[in-house]
Chains A and B, each alone.
Chain A
Amino acid sequence: MQEHIQLNQKEINDIALSSVLETPKWWLPAVLISFGFIVTGLAAFFYMVYHGLGVTGLNRPVFWGFFIVNFVFWIGISHAGIMISAILRLTQAEWRRPITRAAEVLTVFSLMAALHTPLFHVGRPWRTYWVFPYDFSRGVWPNVRSPFVWDPSAVGTYLIASTLFVIICLLPDLAIIRDRTTGLRSKIYGILCLGWRGTPRQWKMQTIVGILLSALVLPVFVSVHSIVSWDFAVIAGVEGWHSTIFAPYFIIGAIHSGVSAVATFMVVMMWIWKGNDRILRPDHLDAIGRLLIIVATTWFLFLFLEIAFALFTLERPEIALRELQFFKWPFSGLFILFLLTSYFIPVPMWMFKNVRRSLPLMFISTILVNIGMWLERFLIIIPSLARKTPFAFDWGSYTPSIVEILIVTETFAFVIFGLLMFSKFFPLIPLFDIKEGMVFRDEIKIGRRTVPASIRE
């Protein structure tokens, strides 16, 4: 962080609260369009419930398709929040401040989108609650050996923790909105901010809770995507899945796609809310870009190792699978696209400082990463099932149906809709965090140069 822009309290308030106190012209159309996609997706879902899963492209042996791909994808995106707000907070990276809330909110909504997917996926959605460990009238405890019982507990814990985190960080900002509105709105924000007065005791407790939550949520950081990876890795019968490297491989992949999604969201925030670009600076994108180079390269190492370990034994079923994955159309084309978009185009781009500080280029490169990471999950799940056993008689293929595509679109629309609604009612830039950063700002002299620095908390 070399840049040093000092804004006074009023300027910060005006910029960060502009999305709440005024409504931009594009807001309502954007909300309506995303809501339209949600309605279409839900209509497709109920059509599927009425007619049965036959309306999807699923078959034997490809029993899992777009829904599970999408589930893994959204869980991956949700790792953004924890990376940015917990890890960067604990390591005291100053540049995190303006984007912590955006990352956390993205986490909450992408987790909700991910939690849609099991509902869409199962054959009898009205009975999905049976996986919860509660003594329903059926009198059977769920099977704790199944990763599908671990999933709801891990994802549920993560959702609760990140929602708490968002609320705790919102309290001081809600109080500011309460003081700047009148009438009913002021009353509602007054209730929501839980009586925040800004007393030293309240500040102290808020800080302690913030640090505690970020520390306590760290195990979830490891567990959530490990458990998602075990949905696949515990299955011995599927060659492409049964790999011990899956847990760390999925986690680092999740960070890759999550942090990229935050960068995309940042650029969008700088574009669509005027004034935001005075708080969110190219410097922040620069920092995220440098972080992403490390994350992406670590992820690429795991990808390489996964393939290397798989091919090391030269077993015939494994070779049949990799042949399909690498060389047979359309998977071969998707594989090349996956390699290009998730690593070989974005990472060399991020090597250049001009790219890291350019809004359009960062937008394109991070969107590419997430296209690639979606394809990665697709290429792990579908070809492995299509070449599941040594019985060539049972090999299959998979083409998604329009119903599945509509339902997958629904989850994307849901996240966009959620973010838009949040931005209308709550500030996406944490006011108190920025002000805190301004207070801690300092300058140190190194030789004859004066360098911006910050006081440690």
Chain B
Amino acid sequence: MANPSWGMVIDNDKCTGCNACVIACQSENNIPINEEDHFTQRRPIQWIRIERYWEGEFPNVKARFIPVLCQHCADAPCEPVCPVYATYHNDQGLNVQVYNRCIGTRFCANGCPYQVRHFNFWEPEWPDSLENQLNPDVTVRTRGIMEKCTFCVQRIQRTKRESEKNNTSIKDGDRQLNPACVNGCATDALVFGDFNNPESKVSKMKKKELGHGGHGDHSDHDGHKEHDEKRGYHLLEEYGTHPSVVYLKKVDYESKTVEKH
């Protein structure tokens, strides 16, 4: 059986900007609590974040949301620049971070155009009431190293182990397999799955919405191809990173403008 290539489809049309994915990720992955100080210092750690943009002039203002997480790029700019191989690509299409190897040069963070890599500026701390909430499957990172979204690799590994034990195959869309953000999403805006399995939901969505396997021309910035039904695009694909996350653009029936970054 071919190795899986894990990936995600994010439908911007369904995203309500509720930040449930951010909280789900926070509790699953032992991310320290981001207090107000962390935001004023511009040092919050959010493996997935909702970027919020305002569009239009008052009173016709629209809030636009886009969830941004590690794109697990096939040609990740963060990987070649790490001097100690703390970040590399594994055989399942994941861009993994080895915390023990990291010495904290922050070169990868500069390389990443999506800005999804986070540095532990402070020793992570939790209030006493949350000490027992920490997930035993996830390392608590120390100060001075980088961390980022892993597609909840601990859940993928656990599901794989159990399916091997029970001699079953991994079910597509299994809630045991899905990353926390996908499970937490109220509107199913995030879909997780295996791009190497043509029967998976993400493969079908990618085929339907992206068409030609990822690159090339979709509608341009001015939205001239209004009748193009395909909504798929990669984030910042002009950087040639070949991400594993496919975004579906927002459908805007009133202005027919195209939401694209």
Are A53 and B83 touching (Cβ within 8 A)?
A: no
Given A52-B122, A143-B82, CB of A59 within 8 Å of CB of B144? no
Are A385 and B110 touching (Cβ within 8 A)?
A: yes
Residue of A nearest to B46 (CB): A60
A residues 203-236 in Cβ contact with B at 8 Å = 231, 234-236
Residue of A nearest to B98 (CB): A140
Offer 6 A-B interface pairs, CB within 8 angstroms, sorted by A. Answer: A59-B41, A63-B106, A63-B110, A124-B104, A236-B240, A389-B236
Chain A residues whose C-beta falls within 8 Å of the C-beta of B77 in the assembled complex: 235-237
Chain A residues whose C-beta falls within 8 Å of the C-beta of B109 in the assembled complex: 60-61, 63
Are A388 and B105 touching (Cβ within 8 A)?
A: no
- Known pairs A52-B144, A61-B109, A236-B77 / 7 extra A-B pairs, C-beta < 8 Å: A52-B123, A60-B43, A130-B83, A148-B107, A238-B110, A389-B236, A392-B53
Prevailing SS type, chain B contact patch: loop
Are A60 and B42 touching (Cβ within 8 A)?
A: yes
Q: Is A275 an interface residue (CB 8 A)?
A: no
A124 to B105, CA, bound (A): 8
For A271-315 the 0/1 string (1 means CB < 8 A from B) is 000000000000000000000000000000000000000000000
Min Cβ gap B20→A in Å is: 19
Are A60 and B119 touching (Cβ within 8 A)?
A: yes
Min Cβ gap B41→A in Å is: 6
Residue of A nearest to B106 (CB): A63
Are A123 and B120 touching (Cβ within 8 A)?
A: yes
Are B115 and A148 touching (Cβ within 8 A)?
A: no
Given A123-B104, A388-B115, CB of A235 within 8 Å of CB of B81? yes
Q: Is A149 an interface residue (CB 8 A)?
A: yes
Q: Is B261 an interface residue (CB 8 A)?
A: yes
A402 to B70, CA, bound (A): 33
Are A389 and B81 touching (Cβ within 8 A)?
A: no
Chain B residues whose C-beta falls within 8 Å of the C-beta of A140 in the assembled complex: 84-85, 101
Given A146-B82, A389-B236, CB of A128 within 8 Å of CB of B103? yes
Chain B residues whose C-beta falls within 8 Å of the C-beta of A63 in the assembled complex: 106, 109-110, 119
Given A52-B143, A63-B119, CB of A124 within 8 Å of CB of B103? yes
Interface size class of B (residues with CB under 8 A): 35 or more
Chain B residues whose C-beta falls within 8 Å of the C-beta of A393 in the assembled complex: 51-53
A142 to B101, CA, bound (A): 10
For A107-123 the 0/1 string (1 means CB < 8 A from B) is 00000000000100111
Chain A residues whose C-beta falls within 8 Å of the C-beta of B104 in the assembled complex: 53, 122-124
Our pick among B80, B115, B123 for the contact of A143 (Cβ within 8 Å) is B80
Q: Is B214 an interface residue (CB 8 A)?
A: no
Q: Is B89 an interface residue (CB 8 A)?
A: no
Q: Is A412 an interface residue (CB 8 A)?
A: no
Most buried by B among A54, A142, A388: A54
Q: Is A64 an interface residue (CB 8 A)?
A: yes
Our pick among B52, B85, B121, B261 for the contact of A54 (Cβ within 8 Å) is B121
Are B119 and A394 touching (Cβ within 8 A)?
A: no
Are A64 and B102 touching (Cβ within 8 A)?
A: no
Chain A residues whose C-beta falls within 8 Å of the C-beta of B121 in the assembled complex: 52-54, 58-59
A410 to B117, CA, bound (A): 30
